Amino acid sequence: DRMIVFIILMFFNIVFWACFEQAGTSLTLFADRNVDRMIGGWEMGAATTQFFNP
């Protein structure tokens, strides 16, 4: 029984960290493709949007 619980917890742990690590890349791609990054006459780089952490 403990081994089954351990395997289930490990599975969710792996899925969580895989999704968590995708956040940076996914948000940068989203900012590059879908966000108006013009501020005045200057275009902010897509990677710069990672600087803002709510």
- Condensed to tens digits (0 to 9), the pLDDT of residues 1-54 reads 899 999 999 999 999 999 888 877 888 888 899 989 898 999 988 888 887 765
Burial 17-28 (b: 16+ CB within 10 A, else e): eeeeeeeeeebb
Q: Is the dihedral of CA 19, 23, 27, 28 positive or negative?
A: negative
User: What pLDDT is stored for residue 15 in this prediction?
Assistant: 96
Confidence (pLDDT) at 53: 66
Identify the pLDDT of residue 47.
84
